[in-house]
Structures are given as structure tokens and as C-alpha cells.
Amino acid sequence: MDISNRGVDDESKLASRNYIRWDAEGVEKIPENEEEDIKAVAEMINAMQKAQWNHHRHAYSGTHARTQGVIKGKFIVHDDLPNHLKQSMFDHGAEYPVVCRYSSEPGDPGLDDRIPQPRGFAMKVFNVEGDFLPGGVGIPTQDIEFNSTPALDLADAKTTREIIDLRIKYGNNQPELYKRLEARPDTDLQKFRDTVRNTHLESTRQYSQTAFRFGDYVAKYCLVPSSETQKKLYEETVKPDQHDSDILSKWLQNFHREHDAEYLLQFQLCENLDDQPVEYAGKVWDPEKYPWQTVATLVVPKQDSFDWELKNFWEDQIRVDPWHGLKTLQPMGSPNRLRRIVYPASSALRRKMNARPEVNVKSMAELPGPIPAALNHFLTVN
């Protein structure tokens, strides 16, 4: 549900709802053995990276290894938000330069686009000001990442450890993998990834899946394609007998070459911890009960979405990490505590094996590749 164009009465009702504070008792509950589970996951992700290195003789991230495109744009925070949405960096109208990457979620960079799997989207928002989390001190960016499924199958640290173990053992044998997944109580959640709609990336809605602090409150977020062209392209799906193995990146290039893109960033605020769990990300927060509310717009001018230099720079030297950002947008819940350990471990191994240092880019001007003329004014901003 998008309230962008809803009436004043609806907005007033949403403003008066009882949203849960981020620091309220019971929002986060760290289970026993989580630290052990997280350590085990970090080791398994590194093992997966080493296996991919042995195959490709190049190291990639443990997930979202296949780059489908990288684009530059501007992130516009709306200046007329109601008070309950004026949180963190959204407390005033502003424009920020941004670089974004489209990806396929699995850890195999050679994954055939004709195989339905979750797709990802990541953003680095530059020129952000405020009090940063320890991992982001000195780096004026807000990193934001998304996935095309609203619920996360790696729903908490314990589940992640179990599922990654199964994928390592049986990932090349789907009948055996399914046999074991079907013995689990979360079978539908685990198998859903193989049935996602395989369509244009620029037309695919993206979700945070996990919960985050949103200023005073707790929320999830999503990114919604909003131009008419993007909406129309969602009707087309990949046809394995007609399309090439790189059809998604080809479609993406064709679209961004000919069209501007626009996305709405929306937040869904937490009101009921029993119905909207923070620790377990495998449950969708019902949008009919807890509406999505728009706070910003991402605008992407026409450009080449597959610049080789920028693509390689992102893969080999950039890390997107939700723990690189403002304290008022702090990641919350078990999956995000896992990311705080696993992401740096994955990045460190990748840099070591590829002999490429990690680069914490602080502005759009530091990125390789051309910048669309519509974004040139950002080059003068320090």
C-alpha cells in the first residue's frame, strides 16, 4: 500500500498511530549461541568464496556475486513529510548523489539469468551528515541494500547456519536439497526463492527484508519502480527457450540507455512486535495492516548501465554494508547482527585473494566511469 497520493485524513490517521520506539523493551532479544552461529556462517561464506575462486580464479562476494549493472543517480528526500516520517536523514528535504548496483543474489557470478532467483539492489548515498555507526565513521555515506523477496529465508543466525550448510552440501543436487528442506517447518520460505518472477530488474520491487532503526522508530523499507515504462516492463518475463543467459543485463542496458528511471523509497513502521518480529526476518509485515509510506525518490538519468571499469571497481574494491551509515538508521535484529561480522570477513578474504584493497568511496567524483550531465552539479559538492 502506497500512501503517496492519499488524502489528508489518511495521512492524519497514519501520523497518530502508536509506532514502537527503536529502544523499547523487547525490540531486540539476542538468543543463546548466536555468536557461535555467526562465526560458523562467516567460515562457511569464506569456504564458498574459496570454491568460487577455484572455479573462476577470481574471488567474489559470498552472495550477490553477479553484477547486472551499476548506475548513478540522485536521491531526493521529500520536503513535505509529516512529522512521524521526518526521521534521521529524512528530517528535511535534500538531494544526494548516489551510485547503485543491480545484482543476482546467489554467490555464483556465472549464474544463468534464465534461472529464477532473488535479485538484489544496493545504494551508496553520498554527502550524508550526522552521527555515524562505528563502522562508518569518516565515511559520509549511507549504505542501503535490498532484495526482491519481501521475506528473508536466512531469517536469523541459527536458520542461516542451517540453510547455508544444506546449500553447501546439496546445492548441486536439487532433489536432495528439497528433500531436506521439506523436512523443515519453514519449507515454503526456503523454496520460494526458486519460484520468483523472473522479469526486468528495473521493474522489480525491492525490499530491506530486515528491520532498521528509523530515527525514533523501527521500520522496514522498500524501493518501488514508479515510472510508467518500468511498470509496463514488469509484464514481460524471461523465456528460457527464447532468451540468452545474460538477458537481464541486456534488458537493463537497453532500458537505461533509452529511459530515465524513477523509484520511490517507502518505509513500513513497526506497531506490533508479535505480528512484526524484528529478530526473525522470515515473516512479511502485512502491508494492509502496516502501510508503506513514501519518504524519498531515486531518479536515474539515461546512461550506460554496464560500464566495465565501474563494474569491476565495485566488485573488487567497494563494499556495501548497512553498518556503514547513520546511528539513526542502525540495522536491527539477528540477520543484521550477523551481517556486522560476516560482511567484513567476506570482504577481507576477497581483497586478499584478488590483491585489491578495499576503497571507501566518499563522493561520486571518486567513482570511475562517466557521470550523466544531469548529475554534474554534484561534482562541486565536497
Q: What is the pLDDT of residues 22-42, one digit of tens each?
A: 999 999 999 999 999 999 999
Q: Does 48 score more than 90 pLDDT? A: yes
Residue 3: predicted pLDDT: 41
Quote the CA–CA distance of 357 and 64 in Å, as a whole number.
Answer: 20
pLDDT surpassing 90 at residue 141: yes
**Residue whose C-alpha is closest to residue 2's, from 228, 276, 261, 267:** 267
For 341-364, what is the mean pLDDT? 96
CB atoms within 10 A of CB 169: 12
Residues near 25 by Cβ (< 8 Å), separated by ≥ 6?
none
Residue-wise over 183-202: b if at least 16 C-beta within 10 A, else e? eeebeebbeebeeeebbbbb
What is the predicted pLDDT for the residue at 9?
A: 54
Q: Which helix (H) or strand (E) holds 206?
A: strand 206-207
All three cell numbers of 109: 557470478
Q: How far apart are CA 2 and CA 39, in angstroms?
A: 39
- Across all residues in the chain, what is the average pLDDT? 95
- Three-class DSSP category at 104: strand
End-to-end CA distance of the chain: 37
**291-304: per-residue pLDDT in tens?**
999 999 999 999 99
pLDDT average, residue stretch 336-347: 97
Q: Which amino acid makes up residue 245?
A: S
Query: What is the reported pLDDT for 39?
Result: 98
Please check the confidence at residue 93 and state whether its pLDDT lies above 70: yes
**pLDDT tens column, 168-204:** 999 999 999 999 999 999 999 999 999 999 999 999 9
Say what the pLDDT of residue 380 is. Answer: 66
As a whole number, mean pLDDT of residues 90-107 equals 97
User: Which residues, listed in sequence order, are joined to residue 99 by a DSSP beta bridge?
Assistant: 72, 124
pTM of the predicted model over 0.85: yes
Query: What SS3 state is found at 333?
Result: coil
The total of other beta-carbon atoms located within 10 Å of residue 118's CB is 23
Q: Is the pLDDT of residue 8 over 90?
A: no
Q: Report, as an integer, the average pLDDT of 211-235.
A: 98
Alpha-carbon torsion angle 340, 268, 147, 2, nearest 10: -160
Whole-number Å distance between alpha carbons of 51 and 90: 42
Q: What is the pLDDT of residues 236-265, one digit of tens each?
A: 999 999 999 999 999 999 999 999 999 999
Asked if residue 265 lies in contact with residue 77, where contact means CB atoms within 8 angstroms, the answer is no
Whether the per-residue pLDDT at 7 is higher than 60: the answer is: no
State the pLDDT at residue 5. Answer: 42
Specify the pLDDT at position 10: 80
